[in-house]
Structure 1
Amino acid sequence: MSFLTEAEPDRGANLPVLPGISRVVANNPGPMTYYGTNTYLIDTPDGTAVLDPGPENHPEHVEAILRHTGGKVALILVSHTHHDHVGAVPALQAATGARTAGYRQSAIDSFTPDIGLSHGDRIAGMEAVHTPGHASDHICFARPGAEGDRILFSADHVMSWSTSIVSPPGGNMRDYFASLNLLLGRDDNVYLPGHGPLLREPHSLVRAMLTHRMLREQAIARKLSDGPADTYTIMDTLYSQLNPRLRRAAERNVLAHLLKMESEGKAVRDGELWRAA
């Protein structure tokens, strides 16, 4: 797969992305977050909406959001409830009084959206697109853009710089496959991900991600045909050259594939071991 890179963004800066859309990148870089979480500031018919306020314990990021919006936030949108996206919601809501909107069934007890959204609902000129897989409550937001652009805020479902982790129980590989296929059936032509740069002509990458997952599943099936194995052994075989910092995430992906295969009658669990069905 061909991924995009970008220069490290200026922290606290209001970075133009597309007409009516800018981003502020949180200072939480890492192997799972690239240079940090993208917080999008979006012009809507109701005022400025903030999508994904970022991680907790980063007051300088909340201060930057407030500075660039003048403290006038009409709505706080949440793509999903992983901490690097939802952690700063309480601080931003306390500072602005803005209502929150996210998937109607939150995956964490500490966040319940003021406005619960279902697939296909519309809010602030955008369409909610439920895309479970990376997280059970993952939502993308779609809206028209300038010059024929059809924009999808793809959050962590599809990112331009890397594949996404699917970590059970919140992550579900069968749902992830279905959500990738869902996006292939849509006509969005610009993705704005939760980490990393803008992605144009995204369908080729979505197809590559789906193919990558299918090939990974086939490799797991071949490994099981050699005999029972646990998730670590499978990961160690398939990801032997991987950065050590990413091996735990890779093992979670393996487990997600195995659970999908189990649900489809292709694998059987026996304690810590898995074997071909």
Structure 2
Amino acid sequence: MPGTLAHPAYGQARPVTDQAAVIVAPNSGPMTLEGTNTWLLGAPGQQGRVLVDPGPMDEQHAEAVIAAAGAIELILVTHRHIDHTAGIDMLAERTGAPVRALLPEHCRDAAPLGEGEALRASGIALTVLPAPGHTADSIMLAVADGAVPLLLTGDTILGRGTTVLDATDGDLGDYLDTLGAIIDDRSGHLVLPGHGPELPDAAAAASAYKAHRLHRLEEVREALRVLGEDASARDIVERVYVAVDPALWGAAESSVRAQLAYLRDRA
């Protein structure tokens, strides 16, 4: 059963459900919140564990993960960002576990994941769900065979705040579609995010995220009406995100560029 440790519990596994525990990496920051969540999944009584998101290349984090997991049967990656992937080789080499992700460059001794693929490891069944938007390669993992259905969301939904859309391949249209799919599912999944604490209802969280995105989009439209269609992403950030810590304005620019691309595509 879940223990009494509070988020974040650095260096030790905090049970969240009978099938899931989390270890928070010590890489806190404006974009990573308290740190990257490394999830350990497995049915009660099983010896091996599925590891989701190795996190940064950090010796103490790797040691804590291995100590908590015992045997690691499989390593999965939710998306390409370095705070989730830098520890891949350290953990793969020390555990001998194959690594699977949507992108081949993050796989070790295994094929890339397929969208909709069904996996079974460590006594649990997982389904790979495409979740583009934050990045093009983002996935989520659904676990439906326990007492509580789980949805590991990577950075698609965070435990607090909102996520940014990557400057390289983030896409607002894709992201809204991903949120819509979560809302429509209505399975009552517990959110196990890539950063921050778990959330009780995936559909409710996705609804709040979608409302926030649409509100920001309207603010960007209004900024363009005031500043002119040639306004830069930075100009818009300085108007729309005035209440946000300026340390986050660089990340906000990424999301604004995605919003501008979305508006251009639909002009």
Q: Distance in 2 between matches of 1:137 and 1:46?
A: 30
Q: Distance in 2 between matches of 1:99 and 1:54?
A: 16
Which of 155-164 and 43-52 deviates more? 43-52
| Cα drift, residue 202 of structure 1 | 2.8
Q: Do 2:77 and 2:101's aligned partners in 1 also have CA atoms closer than 8 Å? A: yes
| Cα drift, residue 66 of structure 1 | 1.3
Q: Distance in 2 between matches of 1:7 and 1:190?
A: 17
Q: Name the residue aligned to 2:118.
A: 122
Query: Structure 2 regions of 5+ residues with no counterpart?
Result: none
Q: Name the residue aligned to 2:258.
A: 256
Q: Distance in 2 between matches of 1:7 and 1:259?
A: 40
The 5 Å alignment of 1:193-272 reads 193-226=193-226, 227=228, 228-265=230-267
1:54 aligns with 2:50: no
Q: Distance in 1 between matches of 2:240 and 2:118?
A: 42
The 5 Å alignment of 1:29-108 reads 29-43=28-42, 47-56=48-57, 58-70=58-70, 72-103=71-102, 105-106=103-104
Task: Give the residue type in structure 2 aligned to 1:116.
Answer: P
| Cα drift, residue 201 of structure 1 | 2.1
Which of 115-124 and 82-91 deviates more? 115-124
Could you state the TM-score of these two structures normalised by the residue count of structure 1? 0.86
Q: Name the residue aligned to 1:3.
A: none
Q: Distance in 2 between matches of 1:192 and 1:168?
A: 25
Aligned length in residues: 253
| Cα drift, residue 168 of structure 1 | 2.4
| Cα drift, residue 184 of structure 1 | 1.0
Q: Name the residue aligned to 1:270.
A: none
Q: Distance in 1 between matches of 2:203 and 2:154?
A: 15
Task: Give the residue type in structure 2 aligned to 1:229.
Answer: A
Q: Do 1:46 and 1:74's aligned partners in 2 also have CA atoms closer than 8 Å? A: no
Look up the SS of the partner of 1:142 in the other structure: strand
Q: Do 2:55 and 2:86's aligned partners in 1 also have CA atoms closer than 8 Å? A: yes
Q: Distance in 2 between matches of 1:247 and 1:15?
A: 33
Q: Distance in 1 between matches of 2:39 and 2:51?
A: 6
Would you identify which runs of 4 or more consecutive aligned residues in structure 1 move more than 6 Å? none
Which of 37-46 and 16-25 deviates more? 37-46
Which of 41-50 and 194-203 deviates more? 41-50
Q: Distance in 1 between matches of 2:172 and 2:113?
A: 22
Q: Do 1:152 and 1:188's aligned partners in 2 also have CA atoms closer than 8 Å? A: no
Q: Distance in 1 between matches of 2:49 and 2:204?
A: 32
Q: Name the residue aligned to 2:144.
A: 144
Q: Do 1:99 and 1:115's aligned partners in 2 also have CA atoms closer than 8 Å? A: no
| Cα drift, residue 196 of structure 1 | 1.0
Percent identity, aligned pairs only, is 30
| Cα drift, residue 21 of structure 1 | 1.2
| Cα drift, residue 122 of structure 1 | 0.6
Q: Name the residue aligned to 1:171.
A: 170
Look up the SS of the partner of 1:199 in the other structure: coil
Look up the SS of the partner of 1:211 in the other structure: helix
| Cα drift, residue 69 of structure 1 | 2.1
Deviations 1:115-169 (CA, angstroms, capped at 9, x unpaired) = 312221111210000101111111110012543x221011110112110010222
Q: Do 1:34 and 1:195's aligned partners in 2 also have CA atoms closer than 8 Å? A: yes
Q: Distance in 2 between matches of 1:202 and 1:75?
A: 25
Deviations 1:146-200 (CA, angstroms, capped at 9, x unpaired) = 43x2210111101121100102222111111111111112124211001111111
| Cα drift, residue 30 of structure 1 | 0.7
Q: Do 2:25 and 2:55's aligned partners in 1 also have CA atoms closer than 8 Å? A: yes
Query: Structure 1 regions of 5+ residues with no counterpart?
Result: 1-5, 266-277
Q: Distance in 2 between matches of 1:7 and 1:48?
A: 22
Q: Distance in 2 between matches of 1:13 and 1:209?
A: 30
Task: Give the residue type in structure 2 aligned to 1:131.
Answer: A
